[in-house]
Amino acid sequence: MLGVNELQVRTDLRAKGRQPDFIDKVALHKVHKGNRPTNTILMKRISPHSLGNLIALYEHKIFVQGIILQICSFDQ
């Protein structure tokens, strides 16, 4: 939520005992800004039922965004 800068990433990787060449290779890829909302959905396994739930959730999200923006989201 708060994000991490390069110094924090390098400190964390050093604390985990990573080698300096590994830290140099991955440090910039682990840096990210904070305050960017995201949805994370964890499932133990993907079944037809859970996949259908994900699709329904996505369609509902698009529908609600269309209502808010006063557009027909599914008019193609």
For the chain, first and last CA: distance in Å? 36
**List of residues 6+ apart from 6 with CB closer than 8 A:** 27, 28, 31
- Annotated domain spans of the chain: 1-38, 39-76
pLDDT more than 90, % of the chain = 72
- Looking at residue 41, its pLDDT comes to 86
Tens digits of residue pLDDT in 21-57 = 999 999 999 999 888 877 788 888 999 999 999 999 9
Confidence of residue 60 (pLDDT cuts 50, 70, 90): very high
Q: Which neighbouring-strand residues pair with 4?
A: 32
